[in-house]
Structure 1
């Protein structure tokens, strides 16, 4: 049976005070509390600055082996696209504590809409795949030009994971389907705030969407259809604004369990932390 990990994009969110984190919780305590409720997290801070070994050691210590980490590539790899050898070394070596603890998930390469499918960009992606060979690398494309069967066949050939996204219905973006290019699949749920996707001034505004039960049922159906094709599935909610993801995750868990997929809910070491998110 497919092992399904469900979590959020990042965990350091002050908006969650009084929801997931009790009022007055210090930011240094966020991850320890997060680990009591979710078994996966997408590390977003690495996009801005690659953490060092000690930072990753601290993550392992605070989660006590309860959380699987996916690690977003630094913007030098996906946006500037001018990574130096030192960037590769740090990106590949720093998460070693996660590997040693058995909680390392895929790296995530999130390319912007300004990265369409061109010969130059295809060549760059191939070079990136070669440098990350031997490590799981999930790739998210925002531009619809990549959303083709032959692209997914190429990813499968090079051992790359196609990131299945849920975007607002605004056009120009990949379709919301679960595609499989290997034993591991990766789903990123961005919300469906069509009005703010292009016009929003921040990621918080773009991801300001609370999924309905019908929308969660829709994704549960799509996931259930892939049961048996996968060893592992990561589902990462990006709609963390206003605590939306905190409400949607239990909805998806219940929908998946209702379809016969065994999705575990971590047992909190303390009670009363989740509140009325």
Structure 2
């Protein structure tokens, strides 16, 4: 099936709100400890986006622990550290970039991609465009990179061509920063063999234990786009934020069902044996 090229997961796995309570089931079984969450998550999803790497380069022991606790075929997408993207705005960051990439390589085949998330203030001014071009030239060619722009000036075929020439994907993001219609046109124009998708949402929710704003119509439209990409032999990595509908695991499973993929819900996690039993 072409949808086997589509890998769907969540933006992170360590959320207390995902733990069930006596009165309500969420995602993880009641009483789940933080140290058990990745093991449980990996039974339901085959990929995850790691947010913690945005704040600091992970220790080598941490990366090796992620590998050891997940099955073969599981993948991690790492967010590039914010000192490079937000504090330095890609300027003068070559040494730290190489350090980050060396740590990411420890994942081996479990590395999905590195997400370069740029701030909304990173516009397409000449100085920032020059910084982006220099940054792209410094990226190693042995791993996947994608760039998320949060300024609409970058939503153009010229930007797409510049990225694709270097083998870098334009991150496809459901968000308020770039209109969905423009994002979808860029998706069909990409020339790479992989795509990176993120489903965001207004940051006005305070609990993440259940779906609070269903996006069923939106997800059906996205599922058709992802099927089209898969038919073109594009490998898709897609990740949900809790803010999209209120509960990322439910959103991810909803899309997986639309794609005809097998899902694992909270009721399954309560009865499945451990990966390491």
In the alignment, is the contact (CA less than 8 A) between 1:9 and 1:237 conserved in 2? Answer: yes
TM-score, length of structure 1 as denominator length: 0.82
Query: Whole-Å Cα distance in 2 between the matches of residues 209 and 188 of structure 1?
Result: 19
In the alignment, is the contact (CA less than 8 A) between 2:151 and 2:178 conserved in 1? Answer: yes
Note the residue ranges of structure 1 that are not aligned, 5 or more in a row: 258-262
What's the counterpart of residue 53 of structure 1? 60
What's the counterpart of residue 94 of structure 1? 103
Q: Give the alignment of 1:1-277 within 5 angstroms.
A: 1=2, 3-18=5-20, 19-81=26-88, 84-99=93-108, 102-134=109-141, 135-168=143-176, 173-176=178-181, 177-178=183-184, 179=187, 180-191=190-201, 193=202, 196=203, 210-239=213-242, 244-257=247-260, 263-265=261-263, 271-272=269-270
- Residue 237 of structure 2 aligns to a residue whose secondary structure is strand
Shift of 1:43: 0.8
The 3 A distance-change label for structure 1 pair 130 and 273 is farther
The 3 A distance-change label for structure 1 pair 273 and 122 is farther
TM-score, length of structure 2 as denominator length: 0.82
The 3 A distance-change label for structure 1 pair 42 and 78 is same
Query: Whole-Å Cα distance in 2 between the matches of residues 204 and 114 of structure 1?
Result: 29
Deviates more, 1:172-181 or 1:119-128: 172-181
Task: Summarize deviations over 1:159-204 as a string: whole Å, max 9, x none.
Answer: 1111011014xxx53435341341100110003x3xx5xxx5x998
Query: Whole-Å Cα distance in 2 between the matches of residues 73 and 66 of structure 1?
Result: 22
Shift of 1:248: 1.4
What's the counterpart of residue 260 of structure 1? none
> RMSD between aligned alpha carbons?
2.7
Query: Whole-Å Cα distance in 2 between the matches of residues 8 and 152 of structure 1?
Result: 25
- Residue 180 of structure 2 aligns to a residue whose secondary structure is coil
- Residue 95 of structure 1 aligns to a residue whose secondary structure is helix
Shift of 1:40: 0.6
The 3 A distance-change label for structure 1 pair 204 and 143 is farther
Shift of 1:209: 6.0
Shift of 1:242: 8.3
The 3 A distance-change label for structure 1 pair 181 and 122 is farther
- Residue 91 of structure 1 aligns to a residue whose secondary structure is helix
